[in-house]
Chains A and B, each alone.
Chain A
Amino acid sequence: MSTKLRIMVPVKRVVDAAIRPRVNKAQTGIETQGVKYSINPFCDIAVEEALRLREGNKDLVESIHAVSVGGKKSQEVLRTALAKGVDTSTLVDVGEKEVETLSVAKVLAKLVEQQKSNFVLLGKQAIDSDANHTGQMLAGLLGWPQATNAAKIEISGDEVTVTREIDGGEEVVKAKLPMIVTTDLRLNEPRYASLPNIMKAKKKPLDTVTADSLGVDITPRVEILKVAEPPARGAGVTVETTDDFIAKIKEKGAL
């Protein structure tokens, strides 16, 4: 028996990976003024994989729906996903404040139900909070199998085989749909959206809902007391020769 995939791809808007974040003066978070934002790189890989599943398997994919939980500006990353080939999208407008992963997972669980999704592909982590929670939490809430850190995904009938990156190597697991898979770096190289597709994406569906309308309480459970720069390292020395190099390391007691 083969099940048609109704894929959901959650995407997050984050500070661009190329930018070095600076802690703000008030030590409440990082400086956001004048900073470039992009789709989280692991979410981009998830979007790409959804598109490749459709392109590589005739009749496998029925629909691809992108979701972002964030402020109004998160529309940008949904438009990016739509421009790359995602069909429809939903913004869950929660305002500008960072929403905890448990709340995001609860919101996504509601949307999975509404969308009748049977396969959720998402990034293993967002590069801002570096949490690496949402996929696993969503899988737990839905009671679905999970495979995190995917380096390869194969679907045959309703069986999904995933090669996972683990400490020291790889592991292969399989499970039946419905399922949650989170993406790791080596899964694919995301495409760029073409200008005509960026224009077309402006007409694709982008619904906005609120966490309230989904009946999800997003009150934080964890309070951020302080965000600080990591301790700076003392200035180092530069040497000219390999002998001096060895001598200096020995001086520091590391050889």
Chain B
Amino acid sequence: LSTLTLIEHGNGAALPGSLSALAAAKQLGGPVTALIAGSEGSQVAQQIAKVDGVEKVLVAGNEVYNHSMPETTSALLVDVVKAGNFTHVVAPSSAFGRAVVPRAAALLDVQPVTDVIKIEGEDTFVRPIFAGNALSTVKSTDAIKVLTVRGTAFDAATEGSGSAAVEDAVDPKPAPQSEWVSEQIVKSERPDLGTADRVVSGGRGLKSKEQFEAVMYPFADAVGAAVGASRAAVDSGFADNSLQVGQTGKVVAPELYVAVGISGAIQHLAGMKDSKVIAAINKDADAPIFHVADVGLVADLFEAVPELTNKLK
């Protein structure tokens, strides 16, 4: 058994999901090799080489891998897997992992197992289906197991005193097939939604974009939380889509999740029900959100939330 972990990085550092992927890779039991692609690869390699449990770091510094274009990155992944005779491939379940990994799996003639939340053995994994309404335990019979793992389900591997060897990866030098044009990342002073310890989310109960911002942003700052939103709030234009928590948005599992004016549709619960403590504020005592909440407050959010903000400041 030997595992290759595909590292997602940006601005010269590995993203937190990659450190969770390394932790999952370590759980599999065999030696762990990390693969870093793109022209900042050597810089990221310095960081990853120090992570506990990483034996080797492979770098493909070719700029054709910048912006993680799926066509070239999957071609690289396939060649590195074959050259190193890896039995397992692990990548983060992010937009990046989702775009690249299934493509590479098809090229390896492997049925991938994605969104893994638990590793039960070297070939047996647990993954949510039906928006987390059921958990499926599956056993892969493919010679190579290709996995993506949920960051919220594995504690990030720590950067310790490791000193993995850094080597050049085999590089198939694929020709680019698609071109990266631009990106627009929503900037925020607040903690990142995907990795924050505390999240406060607003729903349709906030009534407008102006009220969403006036009520939720000061509350988030008082709690020290990232801001999230339900799909209903996003669809109504109250908040940007990048804030969406749910089956079709981000899956979060913070220490504290406060749902404000959110009814608790199945699709929203799928994105937050693994939070350690769930608190909910809603004026409708029958709202389904109260079925999953550890602490519920039946109140008008426009009175209760500013009050909470003042008391927590």
- Which A positions have Cβ atoms within 8 angstroms of B? 15, 17, 20-21, 23, 30, 100-102, 105, 127-134, 136-141, 144-149, 151, 161, 164-175, 184-186, 220-230, 233-234, 236-246, 248-249, 252-255
Contacts and interface: CB of A to CB of B under 8 A. Distances in A.
B266 A20 contact: yes
Nearest 3 pairs of A and B residues by beta carbon: A137-B106, A175-B178, A254-B256
Q: Which secondary structure characterizes the binding site on chain B?
A: mixed
B70 interface: yes
A145 B107 CA distance: 14
B102 A130 contact: no
Given A127-B247, A222-B141, A227 B95 contact: no
Interface string B73-114: 010000000000000000000111011111111110111111
A146 B104 CA distance: 13
A227 B126 CA distance: 9
A238 B248 contact: no
Nearest to B142: A221
A242 B297 contact: yes
A254 B95 contact: no
B128 interface: yes
Interface stretch (B48-56, B155-163, B179-187): B179-187
B277 A233 contact: no
Given A102-B109, A136-B103, A239-B295, A252 B139 contact: no
A245 B180 contact: no
27 contacts: A20-B133, A21-B130, A127-B247, A128-B130, A130-B131, A132-B102, A138-B106, A145-B178, A148-B95, A167-B94, A167-B95, A168-B185, A168-B192, A169-B186, A172-B182, A184-B248, A222-B140, A229-B134, A234-B294, A236-B295, A237-B296, A239-B297, A240-B298, A245-B295, A245-B297, A248-B295, A254-B198
Bin chain B's interface residue count.
35 or more
A17 B268 CA distance: 13
B71 interface: yes
B132 interface: yes
Nearest to A184: B248
B136 A224 contact: yes
Given A145-B71, A226-B137, A105 B106 contact: yes
A239 B106 contact: no
Interface stretch (B19-27, B36-44, B303-311): B303-311
B153 interface: no
Q: Which of A170, A236, A246, A253 has the most B CB atoms < 10 Å from its CB?
A: A236
B296 A102 contact: no
B1 interface: no
A33 to B, nearest CB: 16
B129 A223 contact: no
Contacts of A240: 297-298
Interface in B241-299: 241-242, 247-248, 250, 255-256, 266-267, 273, 276-279, 281, 285, 290, 292-299
